[in-house]
Homo-oligomer: A and B are copies of this chain.
Amino acid sequence: MKKLINDPQHVVNEAIAGVAAAHADILSVSYDPNYIVRNDAPVSGKVALVSGGGSGHEPLHGGFVGFGMLDAAVPGPVFTSPTPDPILAATKAVDGGAGVLHIVKNYTGDVLNFETAAELAEADGISVRSVVINDDVAVKDSLYTAGRRGVAGTVLVEKIAGAAAQRGDDLEAVASIAEKVNAQMRSMGVALSPCIVPHAGEPSFELADDEIEIGIGIHGEPGRERIKLEPADSIVDRVLGHIVEDIPFASGDRVLLLVNGMGGTPLVELYIAFRRAAESLAEQGIEVTRTLVGNYVTSLEMQGFSITLLKLDDELTELWDAPVHTSALRWGR
């Protein structure tokens, strides 16, 4: 295992120290309990957004802390949910009196720990609403999940709900926008290689030299099927087919197309995949009006990618376009 790390037990603490040093203009970091928080938090009168989960998916979630997006991110150990303590501490740190929205990816540990933290926060007089993200169409139940998993679409929820909070929507309205984005989006991933959790020291699964996993989870959980490596266009067509038929997306829809890298895939390959996805959607009469390509929700050094489609309307488009200033997503200021 070759990794650019020191002690495997210190990976998360050292990485968030790096985040703090690199982005002091945007955020600061608290340790023990660990969380990353906007410099100007709590923003009085604004609904605050808190997300979190296991580390190893960077830039998710810490890269999305800042103006127009998250107020705090709570990084657990690699691929392991944070406990209720740091979630509660982050929730208290960002509450500006208008309540807090928890954005939770659908994994059993995350859901339970955010739930506990929400109950404790409510007991302290903070209004909390939660939205559980479950955009992955690959499998119904999985290793760590009852129901569909939450994957790369999470970044779209964080951006759009963050913009709603920033424009002054109340807690119910922000939660309802987040629910709407979750309901209108679908994702699916593919792995060309596994990844290695630092303190485990070996791959969580194996893939033969000519095999890929269709429908991989962001922790390497099994997907739908293992197939022989195919040309990029065939892989994209398979994955996109499953996504489109799920809602279904239909001719005349306007969509945001996200082609997300799993961490170890070169950008040049992501653009090859994007090209085919855009081409195929055009053939189906589905209009791509917003785009995002890059490493946004990763699985350490895994080679692979995921596709996310989000059905857009005027309101969601406007919220997507609204200014954002985080380390990983920034425009308009």
Contacts and interface: CB of A to CB of B under 8 A. Distances in A.
A269 B23 CA distance: 16
A174 B291 CA distance: 33
Contact of A269 (B4, B267, B278): B4
Question: Taking the full assembly, how many copies of this chain does it contain?
Answer: 2
Interface stretch (A131-139, A179-187, A297-305): A297-305
A298 B263 CA distance: 13
A19 to B, nearest CB: 5
B56 A266 contact: yes
Interface string A11-26: 1101111110111000
A291 B26 CA distance: 12
Contact of A21 (B55, B278, B330): B278
Interface in A290-333: 291, 293, 295, 298, 300-301, 303-305, 325, 327, 330-333
Given A192-B2, A229-B2, A18 B266 contact: no
Contacts of A300: 266, 268
B5 A269 contact: yes
A212 interface: yes
A260 interface: no
A22 B17 CA distance: 33
Nearest to A233: B6
Interface string A257-295: 001000111111111111100110000000010010101
Interface of A: 2-7, 11-12, 14-19, 21-23, 55-56, 58-59, 63, 78, 192-193, 209-210, 212, 229, 231-233, 235, 259, 263-275, 278-279, 288, 291, 293, 295, 298, 300-301, 303-305, 325, 327, 330-333
Given A301-B303, A332-B333, 10 more contacts: A4-B303, A4-B305, A6-B231, A6-B272, A18-B278, A18-B293, A21-B274, A78-B268, A263-B267, A331-B331
